């Protein structure tokens, strides 16, 4: 028995685990919680994407990108370049690096430019098929175009996001919580720029100087059980929040997965410029 094993905390970032494995020439590391109890085992194959995952990935790439005009006048938003390549290509590569190879791209606006660039996906080590929205169906509605029901939980992600999320960890969380649908959420802080006065009638009870309010916001990444597709109508605009509301009304379990890794929604010009300055640096940290 090894009385002094090499371990890591369960919250350790994947890049740090990979560096530790390389430094110590290890193929696996036990992960411990705050009580020093083993809660997981991470392997080198899992970190390097050598484990092939059967889950389908659906990337929503049909948005108009009106807030990024005129950049999106002749270029769909997911094809805008960050780090020398389209946003959608960065997303695809992140999944492939983690062992995902089965993709559906939901396309609408300037769909031909996306199809011409990615083709069947073999250049990226992926199998890509396309869902053609003849009209806008929304984030969940596009899933009604899937030709068959997946065998395993599927991941759905907006095609204008950049993240270093460990998708396998989100899948594991989804399964551990026996959820029908899981939404990745991001903590968002909003600071009121003034002193907030609390009153009772006309009497001041307290004054909070520039208080900070914290919320969890939808990060645009979802894990869905195959049965979820039964709740999505055909040929109808149906967004993802509506799907979650319908599942909750039907007493189906839904869960929120806290996303703590790098994440950026490239929806406006300033966010695109930020992504262009940050993304490659984030990759080096990985």
Q: What is the pLDDT of residues 112-129, one digit of tens each?
A: 999 999 999 999 999 999
Region of poorest pLDDT, from 8-12, 123-127, 136-140: 8-12
Q: Which of 67-71, 78-82, 181-185: highest mean pLDDT?
A: 181-185
Across the beta sheet with 28-32, the strand order is 8-9, 28-32, 38-43
The model carries a pTM of 0.80
d(CA 161, CA 61): 11
Q: Closest Cα partner for 165 from 107, 223, 109, 216?
A: 223
Helix (H, G, I), strand (E, B) or coil at 63: coil
What's the average model confidence in pLDDT over 7-11?
A: 84
- Looking only at Cα atoms, what is the longest distance across the chain? 71
d(CA 286, CA 276): 17
What's the average model confidence in pLDDT over 55-65?
A: 88
Does 258 or 39 have the greater pLDDT score?
Answer: 258
What's the average model confidence in pLDDT over 38-53?
A: 76
Whole-number average pLDDT of the chain? 88
d(CA 219, CA 164): 12
What confidence tens digit (pLDDT) does each residue in 186-242 have? 988 888 899 999 999 989 999 999 988 889 999 999 999 999 999 999 989 999 999
What's the average model confidence in pLDDT over 155-180?
A: 93
pLDDT for 48 equals: 64
Sign of CA dihedral 164, 169, 171, 177: negative
What's the average model confidence in pLDDT over 164-175?
A: 92
Does 17 or 163 have the greater pLDDT score?
Answer: 163
Q: Supply 114's token pair.
A: 């996306």
pLDDT band, residue 284 (cuts 50/70/90): very low
């Amino acid at each position: 028995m090894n009385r002094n094993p090499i371990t890591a905390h369960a919250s350790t970032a994947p890049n740090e685990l990979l560096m530790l494995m390389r430094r110590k020439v290890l193929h696996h590391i036990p992960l411990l919680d705050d009580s020093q109890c083993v809660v997981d085992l991470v392997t080198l194959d899992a970190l390097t994407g050598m484990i092939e995952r059967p889950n389908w990935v659906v990337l929503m790439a049909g948005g108009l990108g009106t807030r990024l005009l005129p950049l999106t006048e002749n270029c769909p938003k997911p094809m805008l370049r960050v780090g020398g390549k389209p946003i959608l290509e960065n997303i695809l590569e992140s999944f492939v690096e983690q062992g995902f190879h089965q993709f559906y791209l939901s396309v609408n606006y300037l769909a031909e430019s996306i199809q011409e660039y990615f083709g069947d996906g073999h250049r990226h080590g992926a199998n890509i098929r396309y869902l053609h929205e003849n009209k806008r169906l929304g984030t969940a509605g596009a899933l009604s175009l899937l030709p068959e029901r997946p065998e395993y939980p599927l991941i759905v992600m907006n095609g204008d996001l950049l993240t270093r999320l460990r998708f396998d960890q989100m899948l594991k969380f989804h399964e551990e919580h026996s959820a029908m649908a899981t939404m990745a959420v991001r903590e968002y802080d909003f600071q009121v720029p003034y002193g907030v006065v609390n009153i009772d009638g006309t009497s001041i009870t307290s004054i909070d100087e520039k208080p900070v309010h914290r919320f969890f916001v939808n990060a645009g990444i979802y894990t869905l059980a195959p049965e979820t597709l039964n709740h999505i109508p055909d040929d109808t605009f149906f967004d993802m929040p509506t799907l979650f509301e319908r599942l909750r009304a039907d007493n189906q379990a839904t869960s929120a997965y806290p996303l703590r890794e790098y994440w950026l929604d490239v929806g406006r010009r300033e966010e695109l410029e930020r992504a262009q300055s940050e993304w490659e640096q984030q990759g080096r940290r990985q």
